[in-house]
Amino acid sequence: MIVQCRSCGQKNRIGASHLARTVRCGACKESIAPIADPIDADAETFDEIAAGADVPVLVDFWAAWCGPCVRAAPEIKRTAATVAGRALVVKVDTERYPAIAARFQVTSIPNFVVLRGGRAISQHAGLVDHREMTRWIEAATNTSG
């Protein structure tokens, strides 16, 4: 994934296993903080993060026309900020990437899947707040395997 340094503007390629860590910019050597925002994922980015992340990944399956999905967006953003450095939050637009949603048998949205080690640990349909999402991530963190 490409992350821009806030200090010098350099674009840095960061592997999925390092997105939840503090890394250094390749140009100016300043610190780049762990990802603290939801990642809008295309199929390639989703596969890279799902397979390569060494922390739990909360996937938000959503669509722009879905009212509850729109209402969930601030909670998703707050969750990403809360779990930065301990987990990643990924958004998948089911209209643009229906094949990803089909892999997880998503039939209603919003739908949330927690991945760990590339495997689905839990799945939840319906609107919830950031505290509940954080609990799912903590449960995945405490699950061995």
Distance CA(24)–CA(44), nearest Å, equals 24
**Cα–Cα nearest to 115, from 131, 101, 134, 136:** 136
| Active-site residue flag, 69 | yes
Q: 20 with 54: CB under 8 angstroms?
A: yes
Q: Which residues pair with 127 in a beta bridge?
A: none
8 is an active site residue: no
In whole angstroms, give the CA distance from residue 111 to residue 113.
Answer: 7
CA-closest candidate to residue 92, choices 78, 67, 109: 109
Catalytic residue among 8, 25, 28, 66: 66
Q: Are the C-beta atoms of 94 and 106 separated by less than 8 Å?
A: yes
Residue 61 near residue 106 (C-beta atoms within 8 A): yes
Residue from 5, 25, 28, 69 carrying the catalytic annotation? 69
Instruction: Give the residue numbers marked as catalytic.
Output: 66, 69
